Structure 1
Amino acid sequence: MREIKDAAPPARHSPSMRKTSPSPRSSSPRPTVPPAYALETVPRYTSYPTAAQFGPGVDEGAYRDWLAGLDGGTPLSLYVHVPYCRVLCWYCGCHTSVLNDDARIARYARRLEREAELVAAAMPNKGPVAHLHFGGGTPTILAPEDFEAVIARLRALFPFVEDAEIAVEIDPRTLTPAMAQALARAGVNRVSLGIQDIDPEIQRLVNRIQPMETVAATFALLRSVGIERINVDLMYGLPKQDVAHVRASIAAVLALEPERAAVFGYAHVPWFAKHQAAIDAALLPGAAERLAQAQAAADAFAEAGWTQIGFDHYAHPDDPMAKAAREGTLKRNFQGYTTDQGEVLIGLGASAIGALPLGYAQNEPHLGKWAQAIDEGRIPVVRGIAATPEDRMRRDAIERLMGAFAVDLGALARAHGFPEETFDADLARLAPLAEDGLCAIEGRQVRVLPHARFHVRNVAARLDAYWAPAATRHSRAV
C-alpha cells in the first residue's frame, strides 16, 4: 500500500519544464478523407468481440470456471463501477442514475465488498493487482469512510503490487475536502476530471453547469493532499459547439497543467440512452464540423508539445502513456487507452464488465437484480461471450491497429497458429479504404495514414468478423 505522509505535496513542474517545442507545421493543405467514412457507425473497440455480441451464454457458472482456471502469476486489474450521480448529464452514455439517498449508496458500497469476497473466493490462484480503477457514474458519491472501506477490503482480498495505480473518476462539482483526504489515505494516485466544455451555454444545453473556477479549485484541492496525476476529459460534437469552443476549453485546462487528456466525440444514441432525447439534435454539429473539432483538438495539444495517443487521448512526451505508444505496448480496455498490461480485468458492481483470456463477462445492470444476486451469495454475471481462438487473434490485430496504427496481419496470424493468408478476405475489404487514402497496404501489412488517425475505427472495423456496414448499434466514426 502506498504510504501517504503529512508532508507538502511534490513541487509542480513549471510550464517551462513541461512544455516541449512543437514540430514545424506544414503550410500545405491536409489530405482529406471522403466524408462518408465519418458517418459510418463503428465500435470504439474497447473490447473484441464488442458488447454488441454479448449474450446469455456466459453466466455465473461459466465465469466461475474461468476464474478457477486462472494462473496465479497472471497480473490482475480491478474495475469498480459506481452507477450513481447527483445530477444526470444529458450527454452521458454510461449505466448510471441520479440518487440522493446516502443510505442506499452506503448499502451499495457494502454489496461491492461482498461481491469482491465472492469473486476472490472463486479464484484459488490470485495474481498481483497492478491497476484499480473506480468508474461511474460518480465514484466519489460514496461517503469517504465507505470509499476507504471498499479499497481496504479489496487490498485484504487481493495481493497488490507496491506501486499499483489506483485511479478514480471525479465530478469536480461534488468533490469535498473530506473526500479528497480519503482518496489520499486510500492510496489513490491518479484521478480523471470530467470537464467536457467550459462554455456556460454549452454546459446548459447538456445539463452540466460547471464553472471553470470549480475545476481550478478541484485541481488545487487534489494537489493539496498530494494527488498529482490528474487527467481531464473533454468532448467535441456537443450542441452549439464549434472549433473555437474546443480550443478555448483546451487552453483553459492546459493552464492547470494536467498529466493527460481525453477528447471524446459525443455519441448521440437516444434509442440507447433515453435521457439524451433532452438534447436538441438540430443543435448538434454535422460530420464535417465534428471532424474539424477533433482536428482542432489535436492541433491545440500538438502546439502545446503534447503527444497524440491513439485517436482521442493526449499526453506529455515524458508520460508513461506516451512512452507506451512509442514502444508499441499501449493497450485498450473499457476505459479507453491505457498502460495497464494486466491480462485479466475483474469487473465489480452493477453492469461492470470483466475481461479474461477466455472471454468477457458482464454483471447484471439492473440495480435491484444485482443487489438480490449479491444478497443470495451469487456472482451477478448475466451475459458475455466466450472468445474463440479466432476472436483472440482478431482482438490482437485490432488492438495493435488502434494503438500503433499498424499491424502485420500475416505475422500475427502465424503467431496465433493460423495460416498466413487468414486475413486475405479482410485485406480485400480494406482495399477501398486504401484507395480513399485512409490506410496503406503493403503485402499483409496495414498502416493507418497520419492524416486518417481519426478514422482508425473505420479501418479496424474491416478486421471485425461481426461488424456490418448497416449496423446502427455503434457511434459515428468521428
Structure 2
Amino acid sequence: MKQSETPANSAPVLASSRPPAVPVFGDREQAITPGGFSDALDTAAMRGDFDKGLSLQVYLPFCTTRCISCDRVAEVATDSSVIDRYLNNLGSELALITDRIGRGRPLAQLHVGGGTPSLLNSSQLALLAALIDEHFYIGSDCETVFEITPDRTSLTQLELIKGLGFRNLRIELREIESSAPLGLGRSYSPELLQDMLSNAKQVNFDAITFDVVYGLPGQTVSAVRDGIRLITEMSPTRVLCRPFERDEQRFEHQRGIDSHTMPSVPEKMSMFAAIVDQLESSGFEWIGINSFAKPDDALSHAQSEGRLVRNRLGYSDKPTRIVLGVGLGAVSELPNLLSRNHTSLDAWHESLDNKMSPTCAGVIFTTVEAKQRRLVHRLSETLRAPLTEFQGAEQQGLLNQLQAEGLVTAESEWVQVTDSGRFRLLQLWDPDSGDLKIAKSA
C-alpha cells in the first residue's frame, strides 16, 4: 500500500514487526497482528458488512498422502487424535470470531473444504457440524457445500453428510486415469467417479460440482479434451475450471516437478478453449468466466437474471461477497482486507491455545484499490459494467489497462468483456494483490 493512501473505510489494521516466512499474497503481503484482525472485524460489523450476506469457509487440511501437484495447505494425518485436537481449536477460532461479530449470524454460504474433509470419521463430522451450528445460523436458504474425495467417500458417509445439512458436493479432479497417467495425485478411474456420482444422486444432493484443474505438468490439449468428454458423460450439475500454478517457494514438494513439462500460457489457453467447446456442445451453460452449469441449475438462472455473485469460493446465486475463513491457512475476505491464518500447524495451534486469533498476514487495500477489485469482480460476474463506474483517474487507468490487453471494450454506456477477455481475465488479474499480471502473462 502506498504511504499516501489509507485503507477503505477502515480503522488501522495493526501490523506485526515479524513478517511471515513465505508470503502467500506476493509482494503486497504484510504481517498482521491478531488484534489488528479483531479490529477489522469490529469495523466491518459496525459498518454492517456482515448483514449483507456472509460466507464461512471451514478448512480441513488433512490428507493421507501429499500429492506432488498439491497447491493447498495440507498436513498428512494418520492418527485420528490429530484431527480431534484440530477440531477442538477450530471451535476456539469460531468462538473468537463470533465474540467480535456476534453469535447466530445467518450464513448465505457454508463451504467445508481441504485437504480431504471426507477423511473425518462419523463422530468427527458430527462434531464439526455441531461447532458450526453453535456459532452461526444455517437456514434452509444457505448454500452448504462439502468437498469430498471419491476414493475416501462411501454411500454411508454421503448419507451422513447430507443428514448433517450439506446439500451440495464438490470434487476436485486433476486427472481421470488413462493409459498414460501423469501420476500427480487426485486421479480417479471413470468407474470410481461414476460409482461415486451414482451414490451422490441416490442420496439426492442439490448440486454436484467437479472442480477441474488443467494445465498440469505433462498435460496435453488432447488429454484435457478426453477428460472433459468423460465428465460430460457422467453429467455432474456443475463444472468449475482453474489453471494449475506451480509455486515451489510456497510448496516445496512441487520442486519435484520438471519445469520443462509445464504447459505454456498459450497451451493453457488452448486447454481452456477445448473445455469451453466440449462443455457448451454438451449442453452446459458458460457461467461467468470459469464455471459451467446445467441450464436448469441455480447458477444459470442467477446469470440470466443478473444476480450472479463471485467471491473466493466461486460463483453463487447468493448475495454474498464477505468470506470468513477458519482453519489452517484459511483466508478471509473483507471489502478492504484479505487476511490469512498461519500455515504452520504448530503456530496455528499455539495461537489458539493462547486464546489469540491465528491470523498472521494479509493485504490491506486502499479505497481506490478496493473499488478496482470490485469492478473486476463485477466484470467477472455480469461480463459488463456501467461506464460511469470507471470515472476518475485511477478507474480510468484500470480501464485503459483492460482495453490495452483486449479484455474489454468501452462503447456507449457500458464496459463489456470481450470474447478474448472472457478466456483471459482471471488469468491476468491477481485478486490477492489487486494488480493486473500483464508482465507475467507475456
Output aligned runs, 1:174-193, within 5 Å: 174-193=152-171
Matches within 5 A, 1:17-166: 51-52=25-26, 53-56=28-31, 58-69=32-43, 70=45, 71=48, 73-124=51-102, 127-166=105-144
- Pick aligned residue for 1:205 from 183, 188, 195: 183
- 1:122 is displaced (CA, Å) by 2.0
Compute the displacement of 1:137 (Å). Answer: 0.9
CA distance in 1, matches of 2:193, 2:299: 24
Q: Report the residue type matching 1:433 in the other structure.
A: E
Look up the SS of the partner of 1:294 in the other structure.
helix
Taking the aligned partners of 1:286 and 1:459, their CA distance within structure 2 comes to 14
Q: CA offset at residue 396 of structure 1?
A: 1.4
**Structure 1 residues 452-461 or 101-110, which shifts more?**
452-461
Deviations 1:419-457 (A, max 9, x none): 5454223333344324xxx43233684322124421113
User: Does residue 321 in structure 1 map to residue 284 in structure 2?
Assistant: no
SS class of match (2:188): coil
Alignment-derived partner of residue 337 in structure 2? 359
Aligned-pair CA distance for 1:355: 1.6
Shift of 1:318: 2.1
Given candidates 236, 239, 247, the residue that maps to 1:258 is 236
3-state DSSP of counterpart to 2:226:
helix
Contact kept, 8 Å, 2:368 with 2:394, in 1: the verdict is no
Counterpart position of 1:28: none
For the 8 Å contact 1:448–1:459, the answer to whether it is kept is no
Residue 191 of structure 1: CA displacement? Answer: 0.7
Q: Which amino acid aligns with 2:408?
A: C
Write the letter of the residue equivalent to 1:395: R
CA 1:354 to 1:426, structure 2 compared with 1: closer, same or farther past 3 Å?
closer
Is 1:453 matched with 2:414? Answer: no
CA contact 1:206–1:279 (8 Å) conserved in 2: no
- Return 5+ residue gaps in structure 2 as ranges: 1-23
2:397 aligned with 1:425: yes
CA distance in 2, matches of 1:120, 1:412: 35
- Paired AA for residue 37 in structure 2: Y
How much has 1:368 moved relative to structure 2?
0.6
Residues 343, 236 of structure 1: alpha-carbon distance in 2 compared, 3 angstrom cutoff: closer
Q: Equivalent residue for 1:273?
A: 251
- Equivalent of 1:215 in 180, 193, 202: 193
Match of 1:167?
145
Bigger shift: residues 305-314 or 197-206: 197-206
Q: Which moved more, 1:317-326 or 1:441-450?
A: 441-450
SS at structure 1 position matched to 2:142: strand
What does the per-residue CA deviation read over 1:380-416, in whole Å, with 9 as the maximum and x for residues that have no partner?
Answer: 111123333212211211101222222234x225xxx
Q: Residue 56 of structure 2 contacts residue 111 of structure 2 at CA under 8 Å; is this kept in 1?
A: yes
Deviates more, 1:236-245 or 1:391-400: 236-245
- Bigger mean CA offset, 270-279 vs 444-453: 444-453
**Taking CA–CA contacts closer than 8 Å with sequence separation of 6 or more, which of the two structures ends up with the larger relative contact order?**
1
- TM superposition shift of 1:461: 6.6
Which residue in the other structure is 1:39 paired with? none
In structure 2, the residue matched to 1:8 is none
State TM-score, norm by structure 2: 0.85
Shift of 1:161: 2.1
**How far apart are residue 82 of structure 1 and its match?**
0.7
Does the C-alpha gap of structure 1 residues 202 and 313 become closer, same or farther in structure 2, counting only changes over 3 Å?
farther
Q: Does 1:412 align with 2:386?
A: no
Distance 1:255 1:429, change over 3 A: closer
User: In structure 2, what is the Cα distance between the partners aligned to 1:341 and 1:249?
Assistant: 33
Moved more, 388-397 or 70-79: 70-79
- Does the aligned pair in 2 maintain the 1:364–1:381 contact within 8 Å? yes
Q: Following the alignment from structure 2 to structure 1, what is the Cα–Cα distance between the partners of residues 51 and 382?
A: 27
- Relative distance call for 1:181 and 1:204 in structure 2 (3 A) is same
Evaluate the alpha carbon distance shift between residue 466 and residue 207 of structure 1 in structure 2; reply closer, same or farther with a 3 A threshold: closer
CA distance in 1, matches of 2:309, 2:325: 17
* Distance apart, 1:376 and its partner CA: 1.4
Tell me: CA distance 1:408–1:173, structure 2 relative to 1, closer, same or farther (3 Å): same
TM superposition shift of 1:354:
1.3
Report SS of the residue matched to 2:369: helix
Out of 302, 307, 310, the position equivalent to 1:332 is: 310
Q: Give SS of 2:173's match.
A: strand
Structure 1 residues 106 and 389, CA, compared in 2 at 3 Å: closer, same or farther? same
**Superposed displacement of residue 79, structure 1:** 0.5
Unaligned runs of 5+ in 1: 1-49, 414-418
